Structure 1
Amino acid sequence: MRTATIALALLTTPGACAAAGPLRGDAFVIDGDTIKIGGERIQLYGVDAPEDWQFCRDETGADYQCGKKAALALEAFLSASRPTRCRFAGRDRYGRYIGACFRADGKDVNQWLVESGHAVSREENHDKGLYAAAQEMARSVGAGMWRGQARAEGSNHVAEE
């Protein structure tokens, strides 16, 4: 609940993209942390999923495409309750909206990605990130990419943290 309150506070500050308003529609998954609604690309705020080309190691040490798996899991999650609604906190350096998104049933998409182990909490301003508690929970139960080894930034493979 604290995470949702913080996210809403961040997304309703004067610097938020109030002119754009919330965006609602069927989401098309670009990758594990980016979606598109109505022609607008949206980077999911506070999360970082492996890229499509990245590999992770499972509990046996075998490689698997965790980036591709994250994108497929996000597609399945969003498909279960459409449409998707997003609120924006601004734009990133690539011109994409940065936002928190919710399924039609109200479930927080950003939080789910981290809780399910398909993304990590993005560190912002040297803190542990908005979804740090969700990440620790996912890690403790071995969810998603935490079942083996977490990924290393900029690496084709994951490394033990």
Structure 2
Amino acid sequence: MLSPAMAATVSGVPRVVDGDTLVVENTRVRLFGIDAPESKQTCQRASGGAWSCGAAATAALRALAAQEVRCSGDEEDRYGRLIAVCRAGGRDLNAAMVARGAAFAYRKYSMAYVRQEAEAKSARRGVWQGNAERPDLMRAQTRAGTPPPQSGCAIKGNISGRGHLYHVPGMRSYEATRINTRKGERWFCSEAQAKAAGWRRAGG
């Protein structure tokens, strides 16, 4: 939920909080139009294996913002952070994060960086080198009392009217599937584990 704020511009050498949040001159800034993986989030490589995409996103922003930045915006989020576009050395840092595959275009709020996301996806950079769950979906699962999967265990075991089905990263239905452990749904680390527990592969 965004709320109007007085147009503001802050500048200085920032402290990086995570892949889409900075502190500039005591002002917390949320980068506009992008959503980086959560700090402890892991992603899957196409070749197999998990990697710390959340930590990598934080490191990418730290490298880009290792100089004076200028952030301008006119809205605040519900946490009181200034929603802003930040620039350093003439470069739009928001765009650079998405272009590197270190963040997603946050379509819920803006289509400004969709082109950069498409380019990163085509080049299989960063989060696009395999499968990554969008951070907003992970946050929604956390709010629902469903913790994110442990490293390497990203297969979703869902219970529906069609029975016990598991969804593998990359399937069409994967991102839309929510896991509620209170209902007996669960995460699996491999298809063999899911099948052994009585789940069957979803259709796509």
TM-score by shorter chain over 0.5? yes
Q: Judge conservation of contact 2:5–2:76 (CA < 8 Å) in 1.
A: no
2:72 maps to 87
3-state SS of paired residue (2:75): strand
* Counterpart residue number, 1:111: 95
Distance in 2 of aligned mates of 1:89 and 1:144? 30
- 1:52–1:100 distance in 2 versus 1, CA, 3 Å: same
Q: Are 2:106 and 1:122 equivalent residues in the alignment?
A: yes
For 1:23, the equivalent position in structure 2 comes to 10
Task: State the Cα distance separating 1:16 from its structure 2 match.
Answer: 5.8
Q: Which has the larger radius of gyration?
A: 2
Residue of structure 2 equivalent to 1:140 = 122
Q: Which of 51, 61, 82 is 1:97 aligned to?
A: 82
CA distance in 1, matches of 2:77, 2:14: 19
Tell me the SS of whatever aligns to 1:113.
helix
Aligned-residue offset at 1:58: 1.6
Q: Does 1:55 align with 2:37?
A: no
Q: CA deviation at 1:138?
A: 0.3
TM-score (norm 1): 0.80
Give, as a single letter, the amino acid of the residue that structure 2 aligns with 1:28. R
SS in 1 for 2:127: helix
Which moves more between the two structures, 94-103 or 50-59?
50-59
Question: Runs of 5+ in structure 2 lacking a partner?
Answer: 139-147, 156-168, 173-204
Matched, 1:64 2:51: yes
The reply to whether residue 41 of structure 1 matches residue 28 of structure 2 is yes
**RMSD between aligned alpha carbons?**
1.8
Q: Percent identity?
A: 33
Q: Secondary structure at the match of 1:74?
A: helix
Higher relative contact order (CA 8 A, sep 6+): 1
Alpha-carbon distance in 2 for matches of 1:16, 1:133: 28
Q: Distance in 2 between matches of 1:112 and 1:73?
A: 9
2:31–2:84: 8 Å Cα contact kept in structure 1? yes
Residue 151 (structure 1) aligned with residue 133 (structure 2): yes
**Equivalent position amino acid for 2:6 in 1:** C
The count of corresponding residues between Structure 1 and Structure 2 is: 140
SS at 1:22's partner residue? strand
Q: Please state how far the C-alpha of 1:22 moved relative to its aligned partner.
A: 1.2
SS at match of 1:137: helix
| Distance in 2 of aligned mates of 1:91 and 1:77 | 23
Equivalent AA in structure 1 for residue 48 of structure 2: G
Specify the code of the residue in structure 1 equivalent to 2:94.
N
